Structure 1
Amino acid sequence: MSVLDAAEIMDLIPNRYPILFMDKVDELNPGESIVCTKNVTINEEFFQGHFPGNPVMPGVLIIESLAQAASILILKTEKYQGKTAYLGAIDSAKFRKVVRPGDVLKLHVTMEKQRDNMGKVKCEAKVEDKVACSAELTFIVPDPKKKI
């Protein structure tokens, strides 16, 4: 049973097909941590060119998946409800396992620091409990009245 389904996710973050990389939220502790699922299928558009005959999920899209999970974690806190979280920085990104069609990507995000309209999260994307990607992401939640 999921905590949030795809429709509820789309109520929180602005991402839509083909750039929505989240199927459900499995666990959510607002302001602390989140675990989400991305089912990787051969129907993903990026597999047409990455790589023909050897489909591999691009690392940048794994990072994007983690950023979307982080956005949900951030936007479920009372302070940021109804706003948009933007990715501000990617630190210490490491890719350890290839992600292929048929894999179930589990996205684990933990809040590390939060101050004013910025924060830092620690992330891991796992396939079968093996870390495929890890990174620290910085987010910014700007005042919606100001253009960034």
Structure 2
Amino acid sequence: MSLLSMEAPSEKILSPEDEEMMRDSLKRCSPETVESALAYRKTGDVDRVAVIIIGIIERFLEPDMRARLRKGGDNQRIFEDLGIDSLTLVEIVMLVEETLDMSIDNNELRDLRTIGDVKTFIDCKVRGLPMPEKARHVGAEVIDQALPHGQPFLFVQEASIRKSEARGSYKINGDEFFLEGHFKGNPVFPASIMLEALGQLAVLYLTQNGPGDLPGKVDKDKVFFTSCDGVRCTRVCKPGDVLTLTVKPKRIKHPVGTFEGHISVGAEKVAFAEEISLMFDFCSGESSPSTVSE
């Protein structure tokens, strides 16, 4: 959802006392955050909200994490990548509520896992729009059971699935068996393995009934890679990088599913696949035609 699509309404009154209180509450935030918060409270300009959210989160981060927040993009995970714990998240929410003059129910925070999730959630709240479809988190144990792949050839460590897409992540540890020879003394994660990771995420989408209207359960042992077209790689990936994987269904009609795939590291684009195609079948006695289009 764009944060740049609504015009600012007419100006509101913010008393000098309220302005002073706001400046005091945000005194450890950047000047840009403070001025954006004051502008939002005076005009209701929702274009300022993204800056406010990032600035408030930054205020609670350790110094070494602040640059990562600014450069990392919306796919950064709140807890795993930025080191925010549950108590700190409550403090962040309280300051957001005070700054934006809004109320947030703790139950609404359960499915917020990335910076992008937080931005979208707050944007919907301030605009009075319905919340987007909730993503279903899939942990390592479920992934291990839902995929035919296993260690040391499993490249999705966690994922979230909604009808429109599946997102996953994989951290390159440096001890992957193939890095010893790719390349000698200069470990580089192979592009072919990145495409394999996208394919595994697409398999996970199918076996978890991602579209929501497949007529049967996809058999994990009856999903096979068939083709990959329009591939572009734009960044070298090395140990320590966390790959953010995204697949979006384009066409799903038994027995073929076609997906678009993206990989990034932080805000940097890594790879793109225009079409990843898989052949699949249902568990015994559950097959029938079904179509999902983009």
TM-score for the superposition, normalised by structure 2: 0.46
1:59-98 mapped onto 2 (5 Å cutoff)? 59-77=191-209, 78-79=214-215, 81-84=217-220, 85-98=223-236
Matched, 1:13 2:147: yes
Correspondences of 1:1-148 after superposition (within 5 Å): 3-25=137-159, 27-30=160-163, 32-77=164-209, 78-79=214-215, 81-84=217-220, 85-135=223-273, 136-142=275-281
Does structure 1 retain, via aligned residues, the 8 Å contact 2:146–2:207? yes
Instruction: Give, in angstroms, the shift of residue 82 of structure 1.
Output: 4.6
Cα shift at 1:143 = 5.3
Specify which structure has the higher proportion of strand: 1
**2:216–2:283 CA contact under 8 A, matched in 1:** no
Runs (4+) of structure 1 exceeding 4 A deviation are none
The 3-state SS of whatever aligns with 2:137 is: coil
Alignment check: 8 A CA contact 1:74 1:80 kept:
no
- How far residue 3 of structure 1 moved from its aligned partner, in angstroms, is 1.0
How many equivalent pairs are there? 143
Is the CA contact 1:95–1:133 (under 8 Å) kept in the aligned structure 2? Answer: yes
Structure 1 unaligned spans of 5+? none
Task: Work out the CA distance in 2 between the residues paired with 1:97 and 1:79.
Answer: 39
* Mapped contact 1:93–1:133 kept (Cα < 8 A): yes
Structure exhibiting the larger radius of gyration computed from Cα positions? 2
Tell me: higher relative CO, structure 1 or 2? Use CA pairs within 8 A at least 6 residues apart: 1
Percent identity of equivalent pairs: 23
**Range with bigger deviation, 96-105 or 110-119:** 110-119
1:81 CA displacement: 2.5
